Amino acid sequence: MCAVPTATDEAAGSAAAAAGPRTGALLARSRPLRPRLVRGAAPYLLIAPALLVIAAVMAYPMGFLASLSLQNYGLAELIAHQGVFVGAANYVRLVTDPLFWQVVVRTAAFTALAVGVSMGIATLLALLMERVSGPVRLLVSGGLMFVWATPVVVAIDVWQWMFDFEFGVANWGLTRLHLGNFVHHNWFENPVQGFGIIVALVVWGALPFLVITLYAGLMQVPRELVEAARSDGATGWQVFWSVTAPILRPIFAILLSLSTIWDFQVYNQVWIMLNTRPSSEYYVMGVYAYVEAFRVTQYGRGAAVSVVLVAMLMLVTFFYVRQMVRSGELE
């Protein structure tokens, strides 16, 4: 027997029918909210373990370094395992020391020269690799990878032998070419000559990464734009300046930032090249921090120099991260 709908059932059905579209719309709008939140949080959840590890590894050394920079911590305090808190006295002594400012200016000049020369040569080599044949490009790439794979200490030893004042091949070659009398010429007696060799060594070691990165960027430049510019009568320099350089600008900015960070904290090339006995005329920030801490045995002042160095590099790192974010937005 079929049930006959009552008035109450009909009213309930009408109410459900009336409320149905609005309820369905609300459900449709609210249903994707949770998946969207999960998708938005997923990258942060994935990167969180790496960030925690970095924080755990860096937090203690940086905290200890900052704490040490606020103490008078010499050899006696090292033996007693107890420093004397002096507040900002180490920083005051730094900023009032003329040697510190000489080191800062010297480091900045060294960095500017090394970065400028390395970026210029790397750009030329990347453009050359784009134009040569496959076998030649393979040969150049192999040479660059050989330089990249050479350990820094080994490379410094080779360059040290090349410019040795008694048996150096550079002195012998320049003398044989009648470019002057370089017999027993000591390149490191004059800081200008010495830093010239150190800059050449730093540039030599930096070229592989810079060249390969710029060459990869050149491969992303649309050929249509280059051909269109050439058809309009643009010269090679005009094509590079108006077409290629704007496209490679984010890569140039990132490479400039990384090169500045690497070259500003140079240490091995100066310290080993001068047989671990550099004069104050060769002090750059990394060497100066080491000398203050381990040669003068003023660990507090050495820590203060290191903190200042980290602060300077953090400014460059901020610029680097900003360029990374901007390049990601452009993509």
The 10s digit of each residue's pLDDT in 224-233 is 888 888 888 8
DSSP code at position 309: H
Q: What angle do CA 100, 106, 108 make, to 5 degrees?
A: 105
How high is the pLDDT of residue 29?
A: 52
Read off the pLDDT of residues 141-155 as tens digits, 9 standing for 90 and up. 999 999 999 999 999
228-255: pLDDT as tens digits: 888 888 888 888 888 888 889 889 988 9
Report the pLDDT value the prediction gives residue 319, as an integer from 0 to 100.
Answer: 79
| pLDDT tens by residue, 256-286 | 989 999 999 999 999 999 988 899 999 999 9
| pLDDT score recorded for residue 197 | 96
Percent of the chain with pLDDT over 90: 53
Render 118-131 in DSSP notation, one character per residue.
HHHHHHHHHHHHHH
**Band of pLDDT at residue 12, cut at 50, 70 and 90:** very low
Give the tens place of pLDDT for each residue, 173-215: 999 998 888 888 999 999 999 999 999 999 999 999 999 999 9
Tell me which of 11-15, 241-245, 246-250, 295-299 is least confident. 11-15
Q: Helices then strands (H, E): number in the chain?
A: 15, 2
Radius of gyration of the chain (CA): 31
Q: Is the pLDDT of residue 2 over 80?
A: no
For residues 213 and 135, give the distance between their C-alpha atoms in angstroms, rounded to a whole number: 19
At residue 16 the predicted structure's pLDDT band, cuts being 50, 70 and 90, is very low
Choosing among 3.40.50.20, 1.10.3720.10, 1.10.10.410, 3.40.630.10, the CATH entry for 98-330 is 1.10.3720.10
- Output the average pLDDT for the chain: 86
Banded pLDDT at 43 (limits 50, 70, 90): confident
* The model's pTM: 0.80
Domain positions in the chain: 98-330
Q: What is the pLDDT of residues 113-150, one digit of tens each?
A: 999 999 999 999 999 998 888 899 999 999 999 999 99
Q: What is the pLDDT of residue 331?
A: 54
**Residue 218: C-alpha distances to residues 26, 69, 221, 313 (Å):** 51, 46, 5, 29
At residue 289, the pLDDT reads: 95
- Written as one letter, the residue type at 246 is P
